[in-house]
């Protein structure tokens, strides 16, 4: 029949130039530069969240981005990313879902030991699971955490269970990570109770407030902090809680606040993060696409942030 | 200081004429006509939901309604309603939250054996817990269920756990209620998979489609069905899944659909329900106020629906 | 890797029970009961419209509907529908796009001469093209049109070109269809200029106002009108301009108005339409998903309407 | 310069067929069938309202409606309507604004004694002013009021001042109108405190609940009630508080409620109102366009309602 | 009954760590560091505004903020704030409401002569009243005003009455404050008519444009300007019209504009303001929560801004 | 009639101080400093757009801006701007609409050879037409283009027709403008496919990324680039694709992205542009008011941007 094509045919035309095509499904036997996987869990969130919908929306947003970084004049296609899919979450058993994230991450980081891994959350509770998975795969290695966040996430799991306000505390109390190996960048304002800051101080978490980071620039601060951390640890896990961003630029993150980080600051910082060779794992969490505005500004910001990390990774691969 | 008053002072002026004042907190030793309590749980919902926020929004909406029913010319203040508060939910342990709903309901229906009870959900999973609580309090009684719903809610808990699509099946498979003692009113369209209808037929659930109910009027159909059910059972539990309403009138119910019940049909039906003496328990579930439109139309509809039931109850009390 | 699956894996689980799975892509050599195809064109709309996005959104909405009609107790899977995809539209050449719709329709109705065809628009200009395509395939047959619409769509193409306000006039002036073989159901209010009504009267278009249709019921009126039309013509083309619906139920249709048809009236009417054997072609137009509300109420209504037609078709096939 | 025209040129093309052109500015010496004027005041509203913006939005909406009523097959252009403009409101002096409405109405109804007058509000406080203006112009005549409203509007002005909840009480207590000459149609639900209903009963206001009106149809009820009222009074003032409509159809009216009147019921009733010769004045109040939804559904409903009244007026003029 | 608690029980758990608990109701005999009170009046606004709803929303937002300032490492609980409630506003008598604000402020600043006072508006008309109240309490003192605003607010009250565009002119013309003791920070763009700037120049208002302020930083500019002003006056009243903020960060302020101040600039400036000992009174006006976006970004920004002032105040108290 | 005035009377009061009054309709024989005209075409947009509605909304927004620039202390009324109206667009014939834009622009720039021209789009396809019109009027002159844009707009018209992604390529391939005479400012991120950048490099388009521009400031960069360009060409055409702005500040521009230009950067740059004497033509495109947020932030930003250009022009005229 003349002119009739399967309904998404138009997207196939530009094949190869858009993120959508480059970010292919993982095939048996491949060994890509980066493995991407989703952890669509947000019923562990203290306040209601649909961050579980982000992995799917993240992938769909690939249609709106090309693989070419114009500022850096590099083509991301030099770097292979494969999508392993999502971890199967149970509908009501949160602990089971958590253990699956841990096990899946363990498998992934073991199987693809030379790949960077990127997990798309989900709420912040998934980070604790993933870091435990990494630890299981590499039990003798010391893991450092670089956390972009407006919050410390050291609330007490004995009270809340392993909810989204607790991951850093789970890891410290569980002796997976030392408090002094955790760097939090982006803290500001009135969003952490005094008692939580006391905990953070007791455990020597490195609290870098947004104002402090801005003094020499967020990206530059990140570079310095990563260098320091890399001296102490064997591998670095980076967790990006999208609520680090200002509420005006991240309306689709339920816990974002006024006075937060600008998008360009996060973008630049993530390029630096990508360039650092000891960074082996990253996650992006807490973006709830069902609360995003009509323009999907937050989901777009999430994709952009991811690509900046990849850009850094390309630079790192090239030995830049 | 002249003219200065505590900030909600203006509401105190009309004290006594608004639902907000009539719906008082339960005090020790009271024995009201109706006990109201909240079950703010929705992390058991298959798709993301903030129905956990409904109990609080429901109470706040009391400011927008008077206690006087103009159509019936009756004042609801003749009927005492006391608010026992909310059941404490755990942040991540859904099973624990469920057992608390069961235990709290058992206590309430036992302590206030002559009161009508009204539970404000939460997603539909809370209904299974509440009915089990009633059963524990009255183990020898046969319980019938009248369900307003676009869905059968007989999905398989062995697959999903006790999620919001499963409550009726939990109760039938758990032998708390017989399938033939369940009446579902409001089914229509393409929202129940064939396999679920097969289950319903096998267990003799009385499926009254919306079109069938409209033939002699929804309210009249409810009256007939309640009369039939009352002959078989000892007490009737009514569960109102707000998704029975049309999507145009209930935008704040994630699973509402086109072709659903009109608000006035539900209102009239609930007055009939309230008038029936064997109806002892009711719940309202699945209203997510965070998805409601700016006018709060759905929360208003929820309050209106509740008051229609109370109006019926007043009539029933008066021996009408 | 444990627990990890391709990202849309969960949808595959219930395969077979949802519209999404039943509405399969057309394969070579198949001869289904119905062929579905999209005409994603709306730059021909007088006022700005993104109805071009509807074919894609329509298909995605298949995830929210099962194939089981509970009211009628029939399973639509007895009826095969295959999706031929979308007609390739040119970005700027509207006439070329129009001729492609005409040619594609000609091919489809010829190739699948025993299938019902269903075109998903697009704005209403696509109907003129499709009817011309049918005429080319069956030049000796007399075609009748049943139009659900708040508007006559007889504006002058010599002034506007073949825009979305003109299709019926194009067909009458082009002698493809006789005015007296056009039935318009759903007219009301103040949305057709006096001069257009004059044209309609001159060409004997059968104008059935909404109030007139409601006198014996919209569905019953449609049944009678189809019977009359079938006596005169060889095949009937049904075009459903979704703006026939009331603005409260179809917020995502730019030209919907207050005082329009209720969703349940349209649903019932489309079942009757589906049951009529001389109805061979149908289209659904003018639904702009980018203006829909957050609940996607209008897209859901569009899918429901389509399924009601299919239900009628199943009944018709069964010889009911 | 080729092709360049003043920017609203396109509207001039169809001149004469749209409400926008028919509803012309009043010129010196004209004596039209109807005088339209605006009372853009809503700072007298108890809760915040931008109903002051309605007169302007109402006029703009004229672009979306033709002058031809398809159901009735009549052209409204047979009836002349002239727009006198808006009454100048003071920014902060509400009493001054009120007295201006009273004086302007007095002048208008005196100058155009044979014209129907239509005032576009504003909040409901403007009605008290307008009726007082009519009374001043015709001090010996007995005025009856037909009120479409979900509320009685008999709150106490000694407490609130002449706010939007008080107009009917102002008129009764001020002995402008007798309570028994006030008919309220559309009351329902829980939106009038018991004490206000007591006042209404004491003053013999004719309270016709929505359910009562529906028993023989809203329009038919209005016809009967108008006939009764006409026997007692010399002229009838009709006030349409748009909050009489259901919240699903009138989202842009801050006080609309679930369970309210349908748009088609109001439309039909207003045609009957227009047909009654003793109805000499009408107003439309409480529509806040700044809260309307993106489709402007409420403003469209307001224009439609106005045109239905005009349609009735045309019938009345024709001696139908 | 097991597990059942009054419905806001969960908030009580963290008592002491959230602003909500710290900002307690004023008790007889207390002498706190700061008195907070609301002036819920916005019917004096030229364009429709619901800024009258801000005092209540401001208080509710206390649940979303802790008392701990992480950047400064100080706990605000060292500083006592007590909430005196709202000034009772009349429903329709704006002048009466204004005189009550004046009298209430007079009483408060006299009774709590050593406390800082903070008034939450309301539209900007309330500032004129409050400053007059301060003047009545301290008639021999010279008052200076620091105004954060995109507008001069010197429109003519003889034309508009004491509306929200006029407060500064009321105070200058009324000889309460000298024009040269008014500093306006944040002016930019095309939002002040030439004639108003002429007035400002004639009265020597110190107009510091946003661009000028940014040259050495907004906070630094404020520090310098306060120092200059403090040399001339006895006490300083600070008024924060939230429309000084950019429209992208303050969507809930009807008069906010593109090109306005960033939130972090205002935050830093307010800390400096708080640190200055001669600043004795502050107000926050013109935030309309009913126009805020779904995230409540503007109300959050308003609370953050208030807390930054308090942080400065703590520093000032500590003699920093 | 006392107090009654034509409905927009209030606007007439302040005549002369608002943009709305200053931006008058062009009268026969006038020779203003600037000619403004609209090109309301957006059906040529690749993705659906209602940028065709911008010319009208732009003009209406004149009510919200005064003619006085407070930062620069200049009154724009010293500069005359006349509105020639809109170019008549055909409803369906895009090529005809394009040729009309070309012809109208040719006429305007010829007739008003000493005036600056400003065209309000429409989508970006209109720029190609306008530049061709300028070329026809001045065939011997070399035209340079300064483009503010996130995209290169060099997609292939042989594939898409003259759509909104193609204007710069149309002009280069059509030999109207040399690639090396095109400066693009504002490129960033992942929004231009690698193949398009290859084209741009081959044709020596001067790609100034946003980061590069920020190094010495966007405005300063523009000043330098204009100076360079002015040495090579005879006249400069400036095209402002509003998608150059960040998505947080320009939600009403469908293609705006995170990481884009700030509003104040664009404002400052446009003042510099206005000051440059060889800039003779400017356009503003791709702003879709139907997607703007409720505050109309994007339309306001568009008007502000326009006025900054005019401010520059005033400075230029004064010989500053």
- Measure Cα distances from E103 to D84, E87, E109, E162, E235 in Å: 43, 10, 10, 16, 19
Of the candidates E229, E235, E230, the one whose C-alpha atom is nearest the C-alpha of residue E138 is: E235
Q: Which residues contact A272 (CB under 8 A, 6 or more apart)?
A: A219, A220, A222, A223, A226, A312
Q: Is 90 exceeded by the pLDDT of residue E81? A: yes
Nearest-angstrom CA–CA distance, A89 and A98: 8
DSSP reduced 3-state for C50: coil
Cβ contact (<8 Å) for A2 and C104? Answer: yes
Cβ contact (<8 Å) for E7 and B56? Answer: yes
- Measure Cα distances from D100 to B17, C138, D244, D281 in Å: 35, 70, 27, 18
**For position A317, what pLDDT does the model report?**
84
Angle between helical axes of C218-232 and C263-275 (0-180°, round to 10): 30
- Measure Cα distances from B263 to B254, B298, D203, D235 in Å: 16, 10, 32, 37
In contact, C36 and C90? CB cutoff 8 Å: no
In contact, A166 and A128? CB cutoff 8 Å: yes
CA distance D57 to chain B (A): 20
**For position F13, what pLDDT does the model report?**
46
Q: Which residue of A has its CA nearest to F250?
A: A295
Q: Which residues of B touch A121 (CB under 8 A)?
A: none
Cβ contact (<8 Å) for F297 and E209? Answer: no
Q: Which residues contact E8 (CB under 8 A, 6 or more apart)?
A: B56
pLDDT band at D8 (very low <50, low <70, confident <90, very high): low
Q: Is 80 exceeded by the pLDDT of residue A248? A: yes
**For position F190, what pLDDT does the model report?**
97
Token readout for F12 is 């007439």
In contact, C106 and C259? CB cutoff 8 Å: no
Best E18, E20, E70 member to test A by mutation, with max A CBs in 10 Å, is E70
- Measure Cα distances from B111 to B22, E2, E125 in Å: 22, 11, 56
DSSP reduced 3-state for C47: coil
Cβ contact (<8 Å) for C53 and F48? Answer: yes
Cβ contact (<8 Å) for E258 and F304? Answer: yes
Q: Which residues contact F281 (CB under 8 A, 6 or more apart)?
A: F109, F116, F117, F118, F119, F130, F134, F235, F236, F237, F238
From A14, A248, A263, residue closest to F259, measured CB to CB: A263
- With a cut of 70, list the residues of chain F below it in pLDDT: 8-15, 320
**For position F320, what pLDDT does the model report?**
58
In contact, B255 and B300? CB cutoff 8 Å: no
From C42, C53, C160, residue closest to F91, measured CB to CB: C160
**For position E7, what pLDDT does the model report?**
72
Give the tens place of pLDDT for each residue, E166-181.
Answer: 999 999 999 999 999 9
pLDDT band at A13 (very low <50, low <70, confident <90, very high): very low
DSSP H/E element including B197: helix B194-202
Q: How many CB atoms lie within 10 A of CB C211?
A: 15
Cα B185 versus chain centre, distance: 14
> Which string of b and e fits A231-259 if b means at least 16 CB within 10 Å?
eebebbbbbbbbbbbbbbbbbbbbbbbbb
Q: Is 90 exceeded by the pLDDT of residue D7? A: no
Query: Beta C24-25 vs C68-69: how paired, if at all?
Result: unpaired
Cβ contact (<8 Å) for C56 and A84? Answer: no
Cβ contact (<8 Å) for A46 and B91? Answer: yes
Q: Chains touching chain B at 3 or more Cβ pairs under 8 angstroms?
A: A, C, D, E
**For position A16, what pLDDT does the model report?**
75
CA distance A29 to chain F (A): 29
**For position B11, what pLDDT does the model report?**
45
Of the candidates D85, D86, D84, D108, the one whose C-alpha atom is nearest the C-alpha of residue D42 is: D86
From E1, E86, E111, residue closest to B5, measured CB to CB: E86
Nearest-angstrom CA–CA distance, E50 and E41: 8
Nearest-angstrom CA–CA distance, A156 and A198: 13
Nearest-angstrom CA–CA distance, E39 and B88: 37
Token readout for C41 is 């064109």
pLDDT band at B15 (very low <50, low <70, confident <90, very high): low
Q: Report the sign of the C-alpha dihedral through residues C74, C79, C80, C82, in that order.
A: negative
Q: Which residues of E touch F19 (CB under 8 A)?
A: 190
Question: What are the residue ranges of helices labelled H in chain F?
Answer: 9-13, 19-22, 54-60, 94-111, 125-137, 157-160, 167-173, 194-202, 210-215, 218-232, 263-275, 297-317
Give the tens place of pLDDT for each residue, C243-274.
Answer: 999 999 999 999 999 999 999 999 999 999 99
Nearest-angstrom CA–CA distance, C131 and C146: 12
- Ligand-binding annotation for C73, yes or no, is no
> Which string of b and e fits C237-251 if b means at least 16 CB within 10 Å?
bbbbbbbbbbbbbbb
Mean pLDDT lowest among B137-146, D302-311, F15-24: F15-24
Q: What domains can you pick out in chain F, each with its CATH number? A: 4-317 (3.40.800.10)
Token readout for C102 is 């005409």
Nearest-angstrom CA–CA distance, B231 and B211: 25
From A19, A68, A249, residue closest to F192, measured CB to CB: A68
CA distance B249 to chain C (A): 9
SS (H, E, C) C69-121: ECCCCEEHHHCCEEEEEEECCCCCCHHHHHHHHHHHHHHHHHHCCCCEEEEEE
Token readout for D103 is 């004086």
Nearest-angstrom CA–CA distance, B256 and F158: 47
**For position F14, what pLDDT does the model report?**
54
Nearest-angstrom CA–CA distance, A143 and A280: 10
From F66, F293, F300, residue closest to E194, measured CB to CB: F66
In contact, D167 and D39? CB cutoff 8 Å: no
Nearest-angstrom CA–CA distance, F4 and C180: 51
How much is the ipTM here? 0.94
Q: Is 90 exceeded by the pLDDT of residue E5? A: no
Exposed, middle or buried: residue E231 (CB in 10 Å: 0-12, 13-18, 19+)?
Answer: exposed
DSSP H/E element including E95: helix E94-111
Cβ contact (<8 Å) for D251 and B294? Answer: yes
Interface of chain B toward chain E, CB-CB under 8 angstroms: 1-10, 25, 37-38, 55-56, 59, 83-88, 100-101, 103-104, 107-108, 111
Interface of chain C toward chain D, CB-CB under 8 angstroms: 187-195, 197, 207, 209-211, 246-248, 251, 256-259, 291, 293
- Supply angle C-alpha C125, C34, C225, rounded to 5: 65
From D17, D68, D300, residue closest to C257, measured CB to CB: D300
Query: Tokens 């099973």 sit at which residue?
Result: B95
DSSP reduced 3-state for E121: strand
Cβ contact (<8 Å) for A43 and B43? Answer: yes
Of the candidates F100, F98, F112, the one whose C-alpha atom is nearest the C-alpha of residue F35 is: F112
Give the tens place of pLDDT for each residue, C118-137.
Answer: 999 999 999 999 999 999 99
Exposed, middle or buried: residue A195 (CB in 10 Å: 0-12, 13-18, 19+)?
Answer: middle
pLDDT band at A134 (very low <50, low <70, confident <90, very high): very high
Q: How many CB atoms lie within 10 A of CB E277?
A: 13
From A7, A83, A107, residue closest to C2, measured CB to CB: A107
Q: How many CB atoms lie within 10 A of CB A14?
A: 14
Nearest-angstrom CA–CA distance, D253 and B295: 9
Average pLDDT of chain F to the nearest whole number: 95
Q: Which residues of D touch B310 (CB under 8 A)?
A: none
In contact, B124 and B7? CB cutoff 8 Å: no
Q: Chains touching chain E at 3 or more Cβ pairs under 8 angstroms?
A: A, B, D, F
Cβ contact (<8 Å) for A194 and E67? Answer: yes
pLDDT band at E1 (very low <50, low <70, confident <90, very high): confident
* Touching chains B and E? (3+ Cβ pairs < 8 A): yes
**For position D320, what pLDDT does the model report?**
57
Nearest-angstrom CA–CA distance, A67 and F197: 12
- Ligand-binding annotation for A149, yes or no, is yes
Q: Is 80 exceeded by the pLDDT of residue D105? A: yes
From C66, C293, C295, residue closest to B191, measured CB to CB: C66
β-strand partners of E82: E24, E35
SS (H, E, C) E184-235: EEEECCCCCCHHHHHHHHHCCCEEEEHHHHHHCCHHHHHHHHHHHHHHHCCE
**For position D15, what pLDDT does the model report?**
57
Q: How many CB atoms lie within 10 A of CB D28?
A: 4
Q: Which residues of A touch C86 (CB under 8 A)?
A: 4-7, 9
Give the tens place of pLDDT for each residue, D237-288.
Answer: 999 999 999 999 999 999 999 999 999 999 999 999 999 999 999 999 999 9
Mean pLDDT lowest among A204-213, D2-11, E31-40, E241-250: D2-11
Q: Is 90 exceeded by the pLDDT of residue D86? A: yes
Q: Dump the DSSP string for B86-143.
A: EEPPPSS-HHHHHHHHHHHHHHHHHHTTTSEEEEEESSTHHHHHHHHHHHHHSTTS-E
Phi, psi of B116 (to 5 degrees): -75, 145
Cβ contact (<8 Å) for C88 and A7? Answer: no
Of the candidates B178, B223, B224, the one whose C-alpha atom is nearest the C-alpha of residue B204 is: B178
pLDDT band at D317 (very low <50, low <70, confident <90, very high): confident
Nearest-angstrom CA–CA distance, C243 and C253: 6
In contact, B222 and B244? CB cutoff 8 Å: no
CA atoms within 13 A on the CB side of B220: 6
DSSP F66: B
What CA dihedral angle connects F212, F213, F217 and F221, to 10 degrees? 120
Cβ contact (<8 Å) for F71 and E211? Answer: yes
**For position B278, what pLDDT does the model report?**
97
- With a cut of 50, list the residues of chain C below it in pLDDT: 10-13
In contact, F256 and F246? CB cutoff 8 Å: yes
* Touching chains A and B? (3+ Cβ pairs < 8 A): yes
């Amino acid at each position: 029949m003349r002119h009739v094509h399967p309904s998404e045919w138009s997207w196939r035309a530009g094949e190869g130039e858009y993120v959508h095509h480059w970010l292919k499904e993982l095939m048996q036997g491949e060994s890509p530069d980066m493995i991407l996987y989703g952890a669509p869990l947000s019923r562990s969130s203290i306040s209601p969240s649909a961050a579980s919908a982000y992995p799917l929306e993240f992938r769909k947003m690939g249609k709106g981005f090309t693989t070419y970084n114009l500022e850096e004049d590099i083509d991301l296609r030099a770097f292979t990313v494969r999508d392993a899919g999502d971890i199967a979450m149970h509908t009501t058993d949160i602990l089971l879902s958590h253990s699956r994230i841990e096990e899946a991450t363990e498998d992934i980081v073991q199987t693809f030991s030379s790949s960077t891994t990127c997990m798309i959350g989900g709420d912040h509770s998934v980070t604790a699971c993933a870091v435990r998975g990494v630890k299981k795969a590499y039990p003798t290695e010391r893991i450092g955490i670089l956390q972009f966040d407006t919050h410390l996430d050291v609330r007490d799991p004995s009270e809340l269970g392993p909810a989204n306000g607790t991951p850093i505390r789970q890891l410290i109390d569980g002796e997976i990570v030392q408090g002094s190996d955790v760097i939090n960048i982006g803290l500001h304002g009135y969003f952490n109770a005094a008692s939580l800051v006391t905990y953070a101080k007791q455990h020597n978490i490195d609290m870098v407030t947004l104002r402090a980071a801005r003094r020499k620039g967020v990206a530059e601060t990140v570079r310095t902090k990563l260098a320091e951390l890399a001296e102490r640890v064997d591998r670095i896990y980076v967790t990006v809680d999208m609520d680090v961003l200002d509420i005006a630029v991240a309306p689709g993150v339920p816990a974002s606040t006024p006075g937060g980080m600008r998008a360009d600051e996060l973008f630049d910082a993530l390029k630096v993060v990508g360039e650092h060779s000891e960074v082996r794992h990253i996650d992006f969490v807490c973006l709830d696409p069902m609360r995003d505005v009509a323009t999907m500004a937050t989901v777009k910001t999430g994709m952009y942030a991811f690509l900046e990390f990849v850009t850094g990774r390309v630079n790192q691969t090239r030995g830049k």
